[in-house]
Amino acid sequence: MPLYHTEDQAMLAESVTGFMADEGGIKKQLRHYRDMNCQDGFGHALWKQFAEMGLTGMLAAEADGGLAMGHVEAGIVLREIGRNLTPSPFLTTSVMGVTALSGGSEDLRGRWLPGVIAGDSVLAVAIDEGPKHRPERIACKAEKAGNGFRLQGRKAFVVQGASADAIIVAARTSGSDTDNDGITLFAVPKDAAGISHENLRLVDSAMASNVTFDNVELDGDCVIGEVDGGRELLNKVLRAGRIGAAAELTGVGQGAFDITTAYLKTRKQFGQLIGEFQGLQHRAAHLYSELEIAEAAVIKAQQLLDGNSERADLMISVAKAKAAKACNLSVREGVQMHGGVGMTDEYDIGLYMKRDRSLAEFMGDQYYHAERVAQLSGY
Amino acid sequence: MSDLDAFRAEIRAWLEENCPAEMREPVRDEGDVCWGGRNFEFKSEAQKTWMDRCAAKGYTVPDWPEAYGGAGMSPAQAKIWREELARIGARPPLSSFGIWMLGPALLKFGTEEQKVHYLNQIARGEIRWCQGYSEPGSGSDLVSLQTFGEDKGDHWLVNGQKIWTSYADKADWIFCLVRTDKANKYQGISFLLFDMTTPGVTTKPIKLISGNSPFCETFFDNVVVPKNQIVGELNRGWDVAKYLLGHEREMISGAGGGDRLNAIGAVVARNGLEDPILRADLAMFDVDALAYACMGEKFLDEAKVGKAHPAQPNMMKYAGTELNKRRHELLMSAGGATALEWDSERTNGGTPARSWLRTKANSIEGGTSEVMLNVVAKRILELPGA
């Protein structure tokens, strides 16, 4: 398969690009909801528009009312979300959440997916339990109680967790913290008794919750997939989240790059455009090169994942690490090349720098994924 | 089964039958590369057999038309050919500047007669070509070149000197940039082809820091070049040269595949990897190398259908060569004192050290990294005054 978009994908990209620029722009969304101190961190009206565009259910099966598209298509949406810094539950809900629920029973899918696809509901995903991404270690416990389970423990960095209608929780139903087996995924409704949120604003103005589950009683029908056999489904969710975050990072990097090169073409010092200075030209050209390479790695990984290739895991980690490195370079160079105004809240470049930080951390940073590349390569 | 699946099965079966086992071993050093040419000494019978069998099927230049010695493969078929070669670790049957550089230029600018004559020779590995571009005073500023071809009616009389001519001492013919109009800088250069045995052509190898001499100084003293040996129009050789440079940059960038794109951590770790910081650097390198390999694939896919930016090979060349230099720095660190050995048997004559030193030319030859960045800034980013 060639490493560029098919005609259908190119058409999707065209319509999503226009939609996101018009409706999801920085002023209309990110600054608007940030400045009103919105506790969701995103706008529900835009989420409804996502549904009207057919984006909310793009990964869901056709039998579930979705479009049965793949990660290349989801990546097209995420890249534009990244480019416009659009606050949206798309990655956690429509990419990770839907991937998790697709491994569940018909009843469970019927309970949550229609709301998601209609743009009425939002999902969050609770995997990590500390400040760093360590999905190999799951301590949060779900013990059998009657016909159901009792959930006990804490989850960290649950993006939009306090706004979600259901939280997908990876919990331990047997074994010890680092065991591969003994994991079960649950779809926990937000109104279940015993859930408390420490709802926090992050550096990029997104909201994330540290969630405490204090003896939360769950029906057996909250279980997604098999009891104790949830590791592979969790891995699916992780793959979706990682490649999705990588795609969004390439958008953030590209957005920062575009406004920076535009600035180089308008700002004058010493009587000339600063873009004429070779010192800046070479840095901009190097940055272009890094962003292009990251984008290539991302589309390759998306295609491998959609094709169920055994190389997908390796290339997803390559893509996430490379996208994080390239995007980080883009926002750092962006602020520096903007000079003093790059430090102001008025200019957008600083917003890109903040978003890059959050996204790089989400689903594992470049160090986590480089380590994974080494391990998957056998060293 | 789709047509492409059937094609893959056909290629797979042919390779199984025809690729000698010895040609499925990794290339260890320069001597394992099959360059072809009048005086080429094949290292083994298998090397010759492999080249001849491929040439007979057009597989040395799979995507060239059959009339010119190729197999007429579509882009998708050529990709399958490369994938199937890679799958069994087969060496390229024939490597040459004729295939990578002159061939594409002839396909675009050559007359029908030139295409039939020269391309078939290239495809069969009969003629080995070298490239006469740089001169002592014209490196990065190539267009200032001085080698002059005086119009003598039915021929040009060429005088001047080239430098950094790769393998000029081993080549049979040269494709050469020659000034044919002193009044016009860009539109005063012609692209000439001539035999290296023509009276007046001499070569002198240049010894490099690696101890090897892949480059020569090449001197032209009243060399007679017949008028039918020009490619493209008189005084428009710069257009041909620029087109060809794109292919050269693509080749040096390693976009087409090969060892230099591979991750290295696992290979290094086979001999033990005790230093955690080195391991971390290797992992970061592998991320970059594996991502760059995707870029190479993407670039080739896009180039085949005209989607790639025409200046993209400059970016590829920059990124690929810088990566390759980093790769060899890491290999030297991993090798420790053994990698320092200059002529020992166990290092196959100092291969690690000599290869490491050789890579330093990657970001100089065919346009320096700095020139590549200039071109990207100007033609892709459209920055002012660049």
What's the pLDDT tens digit per position in B160-203? 999 999 999 999 999 999 999 999 999 999 999 999 999 999 99
**From the candidates A282, A315, A337, which should be mutated to test the interface with B, based on the most B CB atoms within 10 A?**
A282
Nearest CB to B377: which of A272, A281, A366?
A281
d(CA B107, CA A325): 40
In a domain, B118, yes or no: no
Q: What is the pLDDT of residue A56?
A: 98
Q: What CATH number does the domain containing B326 carry?
A: 1.20.140.10
Looking at chain A, which residue has its C-alpha nearest residue B288? A322
pLDDT for A305: 98
User: Which tokens in the block code for residue B52?
Assistant: 């001849």
CA distance B316 to chain A (A): 8
pLDDT confidence of residue B247: 78
Residue of chain B whose Cα is closest to the Cα of A292: B295
Specify whether B369 is located in the same domain as B258: yes
- B196 in a structural domain: yes
Average pLDDT, chain A: 97
CA distances A185 to A210, A315, B370, Å, are: 18, 25, 53
For an interface test with A, the pick among B74, B264, B294 (most A C-beta atoms closer than 10 Å) comes out as: B294
Asked whether residue B243 is assigned to any structural domain, the reply reads no
When pLDDT is cut at 50, 70 and 90, the band that residue B254 belongs to is low
Claim to verify: residue B226 and residue B270 sit in the same structural domain: no
CA distances from B150 to B147, B155, B226 (A): 10, 8, 12
Name the residue range of residue B91's domain: 3-95
- B380 reaches A (C-beta below 8 A): yes
B159, part of any domain: yes
CA distance A289 to A9: 24
* Contact check, Cβ <8 Å, B383/A288: no
Q: What is the DSSP string of B47-111?
A: HHHHHHHHHHHTTTSTTS-GGGTS----HHHHHHHHHHHHHTTPPPS---HIIIIIHHHHHHH--
Residue B311 within any structural domain of the chain: yes
With pLDDT > 70 as the criterion, what percentage of chain A qualifies? 100
Long-range (24+ apart) CB contacts under 8 A made by A129-135 are A129/A153, A129/A154, A129/A155, A129/A156, A130/A156, A131/A156, A131/A157, A132/A365, A132/A368, A133/A361, A133/A362, A133/A363, A133/A364, A133/A365, A133/A368, A135/A170, A135/A234, A135/A238
Q: Which domains does chain A have, with CATH numbers?
A: 7-121 (1.10.540.10), 125-228 (2.40.110.10), 232-376 (1.20.140.10)
CB-based contact, B286 to chain A, within 8 Å:
yes
Mean pLDDT confidence for A190-218: 97
Residues B133 and B183 in one domain: yes
- Do both B212 and B279 map to the same domain? no
* Helix (H) or strand (E) run with residue B148 in it: strand B148-151
> CA B122, CA B99: separation in Å to the nearest integer?
7
Chain A residues with a Cβ under 8 Å from any Cβ in chain B: 2-4, 261, 264-265, 272-273, 275-276, 278, 280-282, 284-286, 288-290, 292-294, 296-297, 299-300, 314-315, 317-319, 321-322, 325, 366, 369-371, 373-374, 377-379
Taking the model in full, what pTM does it have?
A: 0.91
Tell me: the pLDDT tens digits for A242-285?
999 999 999 999 999 999 999 999 999 999 999 999 999 999 99
How far is the C-alpha of A324 from the C-alpha of A231, rounded, in Å? Answer: 26
Q: Do A3 and B383 touch (CB under 8 A)?
A: no
Q: Which residues of A touch B287 (CB under 8 A)?
A: 317-318, 321-322, 325, 366, 369-370, 373
Interchain CB contact of B330 with A (< 8 Å) = no
Mean pLDDT, to the nearest integer, of A4-15? 97
List the structure tokens of B188: 């005063």
Nearest residue in B to A302, CA atom: B294
The residue written with tokens 């001999």 in the block is B271
Nearest to A318 among B273, B291, B299 (CB): B291
Looking at the structure, tell me whether residues B369 and B271 fall in a common domain.
Answer: yes
Does residue B109 fall inside a structural domain? Answer: no
Phi, psi of B158 (to 5 degrees): -100, 130
Number of domains making up chain B? 3
Q: Does the pLDDT value for residue A22 go beyond 80? A: yes
Does B113 map to a domain? Answer: no
Length reported for chain B: 386
B145 and B200 co-located in one domain:
yes
Contacts of B370 in chain A (CB under 8 A): 282
The shortest C-alpha distance from A327 to chain B (Å) reads: 14
Same domain for B222 and B266: no
Contact A282 B373 (CB under 8 A): yes
Supply the Cα-derived Rg of chain B in whole angstroms.
Answer: 21
Which contacts (CB < 8 Å, 24+ apart) does range A196-199 have? A197/A161, A197/A162, A199/A39, A199/A161, A199/A162
Q: What is the pLDDT, as a whole number, of residue B250?
A: 75
Can you tell me the ipTM of this complex? 0.96
Nearest chain A Cα to B298, which residue?
A: A3
Q: Look at residues B184, B206, B236 and tell me which one is the last residue of a structural domain.
A: B236
Q: B274: exposed, middle or buried (C-beta count within 10 Å: 0-12, 13-18, 19+)?
A: exposed
Smallest Cα distance from B267 to chain A, Å: 9
For A276-330, how does the pLDDT look when each residue is reduced to its tens digit (9 = 90+)? 999 999 999 999 999 999 999 999 999 999 999 999 999 999 999 999 999 999 9
Statement to judge: residues B163 and B261 lie in one domain = no
Residue B385 has its nearest CB partner, among A273, A293, A371, at: A273
Residue A312 CA to residue B12 CA, distance in Å, equals 24
pLDDT of residue B5: 93
Residues B78 and B145 in one domain: no
Per residue in B111-163, pLDDT tens? 999 999 999 999 999 999 999 999 999 988 899 999 999 999 999 999 999 99
pLDDT at B255: 59
Q: B225: domain CATH number?
A: 2.40.110.10
CB of B58 closer than 8 Å to CB of B72: yes
- Residue B298 to residue A374, Cβ atoms within 8 A: no
Look up residue B147 and give its amino acid: T
Residue pairs between chains A and B whose CB atoms are closer than 8 Å: 144
B56 interfaces chain A, CB cutoff of 8 Å: no
Interchain proximity B286–A373, CB inside 8 Å = yes
Residue B261 has pLDDT above 80, yes or no: no
d(Cα A296, Cα A250) in Å, to the nearest integer?
10
Please check the confidence at residue B259 and state whether its pLDDT lies above 90. Answer: no
pLDDT of residue B355: 92
pLDDT higher than threshold 60 for residue B256 = no
Closest residue on chain A to B306 (Cα): A4
Instruction: Give the per-residue pLDDT at B257.
Output: 52
Is residue B1 over pLDDT 70?
Answer: no
Query: What CATH number did the domain enclosing B72 receive?
Result: 1.10.540
Q: Do residues B169 and B54 share a domain?
A: no
CB contact under 8 A, A297 and B291: yes
Q: What is the pLDDT of residue A111?
A: 97
Residue finishing a domain among B95, B111, B141: B95
- Quote the pLDDT of residue B278: 97
- Chain A residues within an 8 Å CB radius of B382: 265
Secondary structure class of B155 (helix, strand, coil): strand
The verdict on B186 and B258 lying in the same domain is no
pLDDT of A193 over the 80 cut: yes
B4 touching A, CB under 8 A? no
Query: CB distance B377–A325 less than 8 Å?
Result: no
Task: Identify which of B76, B269, B315 has the shortest CB distance to residue A379.
Answer: B269
pLDDT in tens, A107-159: 999 999 999 999 999 999 999 999 999 999 999 999 999 999 999 999 999 99
**How close is the nearest chain B Cα to the Cα of A301, in Å?**
9
Residue range A158-174: mean pLDDT, rounded: 98
Q: Which of A276, A293, A377 sits opposite B292 (nearest CB)?
A: A293
Q: B9 in contact with A at a CB cutoff of 8 Å?
A: no
Q: Are residue B192 and residue B219 in the same domain, yes or no?
A: yes
> B248 in a domain, yes or no?
no
Query: Which of B95, B111, B140 delimits the end of a domain?
Result: B95
